[in-house]
Structure formats: structure tokens, C-alpha cells
Amino acid sequence: MIKIKNKYKLLAVIIIIPVIAGLFILNSIIGGNAEENNENRQIPLTSAALKQMIPAQIDSILYTFGIEKEWIKNIDPGADTTKKSKDKPDPRYEKAWLIKKVEIPTDLPLSNLNYEITNYLNTLKLNTMAFEDPRSTELNIEVLNAEGDTNSVEAVINVKYNDSLSREGSEIALILTNTEQYKPADLKSMIESPENFSMVLPIDYKYSDLQSLILESDNDYTLFYTIGQEDDFSADFRDKMPEKEWQSKVKSISVAFPKAAAVVLINPEKLYKYEKAIREHFLEYRPNVYRDTIFTDIRTSDLSGGPVDKLYGSILNNSKAGKKYQIYVAEFTPADFEYYTQKIYELKKKGYKFVSLSRILKHISKVNGENKSASGNDSLKTGEQKDK
């Protein structure tokens, strides 16, 4: 009898446990859905709040593209339409509470603005319509009334190209110097990234695997050679080195690496006459030989932060100073490089172009004449200077 009772108890437990588990799962699903609905439920904004918020938010979006305040105009919908003015409102928008006209440079795709502005308006659950006219290169984004009536436009953003406008953005070339410190897998990942940058090619046979990765890729690479005193055995070209020896070295380098974006002569000891002789001999074999004054060295920058933040700050400072072409030398870890690819998105959006060293040197030469000097760090001139 006791055994039978125990059997019934065991059977009851076996039945009850799945039922409890099922109820628990069902409760979790219902609770989760309710929580999700609460998260997705948006607190409706009043019409007055929207009218105050939308213009400022749209301006903020425009500023992220490097559009200047002077290129944005808010047109009074109630203006006298009988007077001749290019800024008078369109009769179709007589009931609109916002008419915003924006002029932009021709290098900024209308589709980029359309996507971001429309996306923002959609987050507010507003009815919008966008019209992009490829013939007139004009974009209209209209906010319709709550019922979606196309005959009643609440607000309109009109964007049009203006050939005379240009954004502040500069052309930037980055040279990474610490190539020999990378693991082959990290170097390969960096080379395969879509970013444009140059690397200093490691010459020592110890780094033949890294050298092969760079040479076999299409990535831009640069050659750095140091000029030093007679007793500086770390220097590539030492003072008092026999002429035939350094001339032979120059020829060997030029023959071995014909695709190098540039040969840069690093001259910390300021041996200018010797530097000039070396450079002139290089020029017999290749045109792209430069002094170390062509770049800004982030490694010695006084700006705060890590190498990427220093680079970012230096780019902004030099752009404000009017430098359209900027070349930088930096040391990045693989983590720094990852951060760099994220950070420069903000600058690319504003119109900054990150290009290879080869490309920027061609542009500088075109602007200033072949191997002529430009001011400051853009100088490509060797020039004869007195030894100190």
C-alpha cells in the first residue's frame, strides 16, 4: 500500500514540474514583451516642443557634415510673396511652420544628407517625403501633417549645390613608423583595411616576413634613412663615409625599391651639406626624395592624449591654420589603429580626405611646382644650408 502511494506521489511530481516550468516560461515571455513594448513606446511630443526642437537638431546634423552656419537660411513662411526675392517662400509651403534652405559644396552627396535627416525625422514618428532631383541637383525633404496629406506640408528642408562653396577639410597622409613591431597577423589585418596610409618598410632581414607582406600588397610604403655622425653606427649614412660607398648604397636602394612612395632623409644632426649631396645623388635615380620637414611628427607632439587623439587635434589645428595638405608620422599599436579608423569617420564626414602618401605628394608638387617648397611642414625643398 505504501509503495502504491509513493508511486502516485512520484507521478504527481513528474506532472507538476513541467506545468510549473511551462508557466514560468510563459510568464517570462509575456513580461519580456511588455518590457519591450514599454521600451519602444515613445512619449509623444507636443507640437510646440517639436517646433522648438526640430530646427536645432537639423542644424546639428548639418554641422556634422562640415556645413557652415552661413550656408543655412530659415525662410519666413509668411513673407510677402509679391516682392522679388530668391528667398521668398514657395506658395506650396504657405502653411509650413519651417522652411529651411541649405546650400552645400558639390563634394557632399545629397544622399548622405537625405539619409541622416530623414532618419532623424522618422525617429520622431513624423510623416516625411524626400525628393532628390538629379537634374537640378536639389533635395527637398518635406514633413507632412499627421494624416500624411501631401497637400499640407508642415515643414520643408531644401538642399541645393553651390559651386562656390568648399568645406574646411584637408587632405591627410599618415605614415606609420613602427612596422617592425607588428605581428604578421596584425599587419595583414591593417593592410587589408580600407584605410589609406603608408608604412615605413623595415629593411633588416630579421623582418623579412613583414617586408614581404608589405611589398606583396598594394599598400603604400616609404623608406626612411638616417644621416648621422661618423661614430653613429646606427645611422644609414655616416659622415665621412667614402663617397663610392654611400653612392653605391643610394643606387642599390633605388634599384631594390622602385615602387616606394618616397625616400625620406632623417637628419637629426643637421649635416645639411652631406644631406644635400645624398639627395642629389638619389635624384639621379628617382624624383621622390624628401627632407624630414615634409611631415609633422605626432611622436613629439605636445598635445594631450594618446597618439590617435594627438593626431586628431593636430589635424584640426593645422586645418584652421589653412594647411590643405598634411603629412603625419605616428606610431600605432593594432588597438590604436582600430581606434583611428573609428575616430577619422567624424573628419571624413566633414570633408577631410585620408589619402596615400603617393597621392598627397603629387598634389603638393602640382600646387607648388615639382619639388618646390611650400610653407611650414609642407616644405619639399632640400636647399643648401650651412653645417652646424
Pick from 181-185, 237-241, 348-352, 378-382: least confident: 378-382
Amino acid at 282: F
Q: What is the pLDDT of residue 383?
A: 36
Q: What is the pLDDT of residue 381?
A: 41
Mean pLDDT of all residues in 322-338: 96
Report all structural domains of the chain as residue ranges with CATH numbers, in order of start.
Answer: 47-161 (3.30.460), 171-378 (3.20.20.370)
Mean pLDDT of all residues in 281-285: 96
For the CA atoms of 4, 7, 12, 18, the dihedral, rounded to the nearest 10 degrees, stands at: -170
DSSP code for 68:
-
Mean pLDDT of all residues in 358-385: 61
Rounded CA-CA distance 239/226 in Å is 11
- Give, in order, the Cα–Cα distances in Å from 181 to each of 185, 189, 233, 335: 12, 14, 21, 13
Rounded CA-CA distance 290/265 in Å is 6
Mean pLDDT of the chain, nearest integer = 84
Rounded CA-CA distance 8/2 in Å is 10
Q: Are 222 and 201 in contact (CB under 8 A)?
A: yes
- 37 — pLDDT class (breaks 50, 70, 90): very low
Q: Are 213 and 187 in contact (CB under 8 A)?
A: yes
Model confidence pLDDT, tens digit, residues 206-234 = 999 999 999 999 899 999 999 999 999 89
Pick from 166-170, 271-275, 333-337, 373-377: least confident: 373-377
Rounded CA-CA distance 238/229 in Å is 5
- 152 — pLDDT class (breaks 50, 70, 90): confident
Q: What is the pLDDT of residue 86?
A: 59
- 80 — pLDDT class (breaks 50, 70, 90): low
In the predicted model, is pLDDT for residue 4 greater than 60?
A: no
What order of strands is seen across the sheet that includes strand 128-133? 72-75, 98-104, 153-161, 138-144, 128-133
- 280 — pLDDT class (breaks 50, 70, 90): very high
In the predicted model, is pLDDT for residue 148 greater than 70?
A: no
In the numeric block, the cell 626624395 is attached to 289
In the predicted model, is pLDDT for residue 373 greater than 70?
A: no
Cβ of 240: how many Cβ atoms within 10 Å? 8
Of residues 120 and 168, more confidence is placed in 120
In the predicted model, is pLDDT for residue 297 greater than 60?
A: yes
In the predicted model, is pLDDT for residue 203 greater than 70?
A: yes
- 132 — pLDDT class (breaks 50, 70, 90): confident
Cell numbers for 380, please give them. 619639399
Rounded CA-CA distance 62/56 in Å is 10
DSSP string, 252-305: HHHHH-TT-SEEEEE-TT--HHHHHHHHHHHTTT-S-EEEGGGSEEGGG--SSS
- Give, in order, the Cα–Cα distances in Å from 54 to each of 57, 73, 95, 203: 5, 15, 17, 57
Q: How far is CA 92 from the centre of its chain?
A: 40
